[in-house]
Amino acid sequence: MEEKIKIDYFISHPIQYFSPLFRKMAERMDLKVYYFSDVSVRGGVDKGFGTRVKWDIPLLNGYKYQFLRNWSKRRSMDGRFFDAVNPGVFAAVRKSPAKIVAVNGWNYASNWLVMIAAKIYGKEVWLRAENPLNQELRKKSRLLFLKRFVLKRILFSLFVDKCLYIGTESRKFFEHYGVPRSRLVFTPYAVDNEYFQNAVTEQSLELIKRELGLPIDKKIILFSGKFIEKKRPMDLLRAFHLLNNGNYLLVMVGEGELRREMELFINNNGLKNVILTGFVNQALIPKYYKVADVFVMCSGMGETWGLSVNEAMNFSLPVVISTTCGCHFDLVRSSRNGFTFEEGDIDQLASKLASICSSNELQCSMGQASREIIDEFNIDKIVDNLLQSVTK
């Protein structure tokens, strides 16, 4: 029997989108995942949602893992550099027989410690990151000058052997900072397509709508995400107000700090067909996708991809996505499976929604196209490309 490739993967904490990938990798590789924190399995207040969150799906099944002691005084993982300080990565890298060390991002101190350890002990560093170039170029020139030095001259030149990009703008980001094509590996940002496509198959739409407390005779426009500035939920509320169509229902799945502002807008403008669900856990989310007619993501800066778009497309939904979202370059084929609109352009957003919701034929054809497109973005392709890269 051929020996499996040994890979160690270092990441901040268990994440619902990554667990299926790790299970699939473990089937074909000798994988061990090292976590900097157990915050997501321990349960705690999610800063973005503004409520206590503990995922109701298995995050640690099907692969080897280890939690490393985090010496940070901070109890959360909010993307701040010193949220993760794990000196134990040196021992983990030194003792492991794996010759490849994969690292997810560079925003935590521990990410840098891992890469330093890998270089000390003669191992390859494979860095996966989400950063899209379209957002990078909107940042302040002084910051970009500093990043060009740190990323191009230090990180990508001295520490990283391969860069794993998730989509078109991610690839352009690495190329912008001097990484040659020969060191780039396409690892498409993907969800567990099989899970979502088979999650809700038996119940009728009417039964699901009744279970969720939704009217059965409305076209459903769906939003799923945190009610925070980055997600720009107020843009969708304003666009829905412009639509002014009693046959449409706006369902906003999520929670967060903007809820009060959203409720005030709904009340002040007499919007009747809007439902704010509050936090919905992973096991129930598929039912909202199943009954929806169109999915919207209107996010701004910081939405490096937008995996809920992947989820929605698995349910054959047309999508309307802002041009700032990192995923729109890859997942939205304009006029085929949905539309894009300029971030913050409320009139344009309302117009795109009206085009889809007013035509059953267009909605159906776009939905079918979404399903075909998302089949290209799957976990198996990630594993295939990783394995092929080992031999190069």
pLDDT of residue 125: 98
How much is the average pLDDT of 77-98? 95
Q: Greater confidence, 50 or 334? A: 334
**The pLDDT value given to residue 98:** 98
**pLDDT at position 203, please?**
83
pLDDT at 201: 77
Farthest CA pair distance, the chain: 68
Q: What pLDDT does 41 receive?
A: 87
Question: What rounded mean pLDDT belongs to the chain?
Answer: 94
pLDDT value of position 233? 98
pLDDT confidence of residue 274: 98
pLDDT value of residue 1: 56
Q: What does the pLDDT read at residue 282?
A: 85
Residue-wise pLDDT for 277-300, tens only, equals: 999 988 899 999 999 999 999 999
Phi and psi, residue 6, nearest 5° = -95, 125
> Mean pLDDT across the stretch 310-339?
97
pTM of the predicted model as reported, rounded to 2 decimal places = 0.94
Helices (H), the chain: 19-28, 39-42, 89-95, 109-120, 133-136, 141-147, 168-176, 193-197, 205-212, 233-243, 259-268, 285-291, 307-313, 328-331, 346-357, 360-374, 379-390
The two counts, helices (H) then strands (E), for the chain are: 17, 15
User: What span, in angstroms and rounded, lies between the C-alpha atoms of 374 and 39?
Assistant: 30
Rounded CA gap, 196 and 311, in Å? 7
pLDDT for 148-176, tens place per residue?
999 999 999 999 999 999 999 999 999 99
Asked which of 45-59, 80-94, 261-275, 300-314 is least confident by mean pLDDT, the reply is: 45-59
Say if residues 332 and 339 touch (Cβ distance below 8 Å): yes
Q: Given this model, what pLDDT does residue 46 score?
A: 64
Query: Is the pLDDT score of 301 beyond 90?
Result: yes
Q: Among 47-61, 300-314, 316-330, which is the least confidently predicted range?
A: 47-61
Whole-number pLDDT of residue 79 = 85
Give the mean pLDDT of 14-37. Answer: 97
Q: Is the pLDDT of residue 250 over 70?
A: yes
**pLDDT (mean) for 308-331:** 98
Contact 357, 248 (CB under 8 A): yes
Q: Report the percent of the chain where pLDDT is more than 90.
A: 86
* Contact in structure between 244 and 312 (CB atoms under 8 Å): no
What value does the mean pLDDT take over residues 65-72? Answer: 97
Q: What is the pLDDT of residue 361?
A: 97
Does pLDDT of 40 surpass 90? no
Domains of the chain (ranges plus CATH)? 6-192+377-390 (3.40.50.2000), 193-374 (3.40.50.2000)
Residue 66's pLDDT band (cuts 50, 70, 90): very high
* Res 95 pLDDT > 70: yes
392 has pLDDT over 60: no
Q: How far apart are CA 18 and CA 27, in angstroms?
A: 15
For the residues 74-82, what does the mean pLDDT come to? 85
